[in-house]
Amino acid sequence: MATSPIVLITGASQGIGAALARTFAKEVPGVRLALVARQERKLIAVAGACGKLGAKAEIFPCDVSDETAVAALKVAVAKRLGRVDVLINNAGKFAGAPFVEMPVADFDRMIAVNLRSVFLMSRAFAPDMMARKRGDIFNMSSIAGRGAYPGGAGYSAAKFGVSGLSQVMRAELRDQGVRVCCVYPGATWSPSWAGAGKAKERLMPAEDVARAFLDVYRLSRRTVVEEIVLRPQLGDV
């Protein structure tokens, strides 16, 4: 495990992303966090919470589905923090509709936010890991990337894509010392569930999902967890 690692988390402004930031801040001594999302105000709050836990946290407002923005992000992170040791591709968004009714713009947005972002971010930060023969990349899929359901045309297509991309990345990067883990969480409590009429007790805490990432990261370099599936104990909601 690298000392004082630099951990970059996309979608870090709320939900699982914010829980990941707090968990690494609390549990990894000397960690330096690059917190990325589009909502600067929320990023500031998460960074403040991480600072109180003893971590150095820098914020980087960015649309990670935009190629030019990701290129600028790479430069900014290197200048302010250094080379990234752990990349967590957590950014994502959901919009549901029957596939014959789903607007093309909504479908394209699901692919961009959930899949294109993983490709762009990994392509930007993996080369430095390969050069050092060490690194960890976590790609956030979903149980929707393992089994489709009505109304999930864009989201499921994107998350199945994350699964496939993760397998390609793992095959290409494993001999370069870079571990790639694809994570499939089920329903997890976040602000996006507010008002959805689902009992919070039936959803997983975001902190539990974050803990799984941390535990995988802490394994010896001789071991890779290729996939993690996490589901609510009481079943999918």
Catalytic center residues: 155
The residue assigned the tokens 């979608």 is 11
Say how far residue 67 (Cα) sits from the centre of its chain: 17
**Residues pairing with 82 in the sheet:** none
Say how far residue 73 (Cα) sits from the centre of its chain: 16
Tokens read off for 57: 């946290």
What DSSP designation does 94 have?
Answer: -
The residue length of the chain stands at: 237
The rounded distance, in Å, linking the Cα atoms of 102 and 20 is 32
